[in-house]
Structure 1
Amino acid sequence: MMQMKALSPVETEAGSGGDGGGLRHELKLVSQEMAYPRVYRLLMNDSIGLRTLHPERRVQSVYLDTPECRAFQDNLSGISHREKVRFRWYGSEVDRVAGRLECKIRENKYGWKQVKKLTIEREIRGVDRVSFVRKLGEDAGLDWQIRLQGLQPAQWIAYDRQYLGSADGKLRITLDRGLRVWDQRMRFALDNRFPTPVPRMLIMEVKCAAIHYEAAQRLVNRLPMMVGKCSKYVLASEPAEGPEVQLLYT
């Protein structure tokens, strides 16, 4: 049986380049959260030979946007080039965390990420919004300081993520559940109390390098879910603009 190279957390998240720089496709499928056992069973029985790439873990992100919510508006408008900036960390902690800055870039149908790992632990909950962004820039360096100018905390998003990969290494699949979101736009300090009500959903993403798009398409064609748009940031900012949840028999 083919042995798959164990991917690091950064490689698992990043796409074909391992550091976030590789062009990739992302196909997104959404159903109700209770359909997870059926979807997982279908995936694990598929002929591409999926196996676990990394233990399931909690993913948390604070998304940054302009006061006018430009990133949110760009996504709604569907413009060809758009960017989202976030600070991401792993685990349930909110008081002393080490994470990384990410700029997720989309150009037409392709996407990639620029990533800056930050080794200094920082407080999240209770930190005032201005200090939070300023300290991120100080720790990340000049290029990121410039990128962060004019941005402020907009949404705090958390979910549980499961990581799967095909035996040939061409496809990576993530399954997200337990989604929680907290609107930060009107808060003086970051806070994860009083979540925004959102549907309980299962979000599946099939990720691949551009040259493996046909393999990804063949996989999703075998699943009882339709590919569609799904931005957690858009859902958090305006739940009415979130994805249509496809109902599956469980």
Structure 2
Amino acid sequence: MQGYTELNTFRYERKFVAHPLNRLATEAIIKQNNAFFISAFSKRRINNIYFDTPGFDCYFDNLFGNGNRWKVRLRWYGDEFGKVDSPILEFKIKKGLVGTKKSYSIPSFYFNKKEFHARALTGIFDIATLPADVREKLTGLQPVLFNTYLRSYYTTLNKVFRITVDDQMEYYNLRPSWNHMQHSFKEDLKVVVELKYNKEHNENADQISNQFPFRLDKNSKFVSGLSHFRSEIAH
């Protein structure tokens, strides 16, 4: 897919919260960096359905920063609701400070805001071309969260370092049965910056990040959304 980054190695993802700056001010600072970041791709909306075990194993591993952890999401670009074209199933794997992801193409489906049954995703996975171990992993998972946000992309001229800027974040609770998604949780004022690069370039990353006035923050959208909707598991 155009603009989609597949990974076959481990990379760093340094996350920053740009408070109190808005997107415009944040991107102006990025463009002033001595690494000379330029726009890499058109700004677009990103949508994710996150999955977890009934015991929320992925949530707790991310919340407590366990060194070896993973999470699963179904991602697509463009409109949040309606027909979903070219969705991608992602397994994000973290080992210490670096991570990677495994990606699988999934058939199109409809994501109805007013009436969506999570069981519909099982049917989509059944007809997808997925490895046996991935299918087995999915049998123990259920959808728990939907989120959407606007992302812009920057890269250095040599494409060694990438930056994404996210704002307009919105979250919906998902249950394993019917979902009507009438109420959402918004983080309207938050701007999240991610600096991404392969681990062999870690020595030079400080020269970039030290020029940012942003606060370093692990800032997991997955954790933020679930902590808001599932107060019974957040404490």
Q: Verify same fold: TM over 0.5.
A: yes
Q: Distance in 1 between matches of 2:168 and 2:20?
A: 8
- Structure 1 partner of 2:169: 179
Instruction: For 1:27, give the aligned amino acid.
Output: R
Instruction: Tell me how far 1:93 sits from its aligned partner.
Output: 4.3
Which shifted more, 45-54 or 141-150? 141-150
Q: State the aligned residue count.
A: 226
Cα deviations across residues 176-220 of structure 1 (Å, max 9, x unaligned)?
0100000113x6234443102446200000000001112222211
Which shifted more, 215-224 or 149-158? 215-224
Q: Is contact 1:133–1:152 with CA below 8 Å preserved after alignment?
A: no
Instruction: Tell me how far 1:21 sits from its aligned partner.
Output: 2.2
- Structure 1 partner of 2:233: none
- Structure 2 partner of 1:123: 110
* Secondary structure, counterpart of 1:213 in structure 2: helix
Q: Structure 1 residue 107 and structure 2 residue 95: aligned?
A: yes
Identity within the alignment, %? 24
TM-score, normalised relative to structure 1:
0.84
Q: Distance in 2 between matches of 1:157 and 1:148?
A: 20
- Structure 1 partner of 2:67: 80
Q: Is contact 1:58–1:91 with CA below 8 Å preserved after alignment?
A: yes
Q: Distance in 2 between matches of 1:93 and 1:159?
A: 9
Q: Distance in 2 between matches of 1:171 and 1:58?
A: 22
Instruction: Tell me how far 1:164 sits from its aligned partner.
Output: 0.3
The partner residue of 1:61 within 21, 28, 48 is 48
Change (3 A) 1:174 1:240: same
Instruction: Tell me how far 1:89 sits from its aligned partner.
Output: 0.3
Q: Is contact 2:11–2:196 with CA below 8 Å preserved after alignment?
A: yes
Instruction: Tell me how far 1:221 sits from its aligned partner.
Output: 0.7
TM-score, normalised relative to structure 2:
0.89
Instruction: For 1:115, give the aligned amino acid.
Output: S
What are the within-5 Å matches in structure 2 for residues 16-35 of structure 1? 19-32=6-19, 34-35=21-22
- Structure 1 partner of 2:194: 205
What are the within-5 Å matches in structure 2 for residues 132-211 of structure 1? 132-141=121-130, 142-185=132-175, 188-198=177-187, 200-211=189-200
Instruction: For 1:216, give the aligned amino acid.
Output: A
Change (3 A) 1:198 1:226: closer
* Secondary structure, counterpart of 2:217 in structure 1: coil
Unaligned runs of 5+ residues in structure 1 are 1-6, 12-18, 242-250
Pick the structure with more strand per residue.
Answer: 2
Cα deviations across residues 100-152 of structure 1 (Å, max 9, x unaligned)?
1000000111100000012x210122331123134224314233211201111
Instruction: Tell me how far 1:96 sits from its aligned partner.
Output: 1.0
Q: Distance in 1 between matches of 2:139 and 2:189?
A: 34
Q: Structure 1 residue 221 and structure 2 residue 215: aligned?
A: no
**Aligned CA-pair RMSD:** 2.1
Q: Is contact 2:173–2:229 with CA below 8 Å preserved after alignment?
A: no
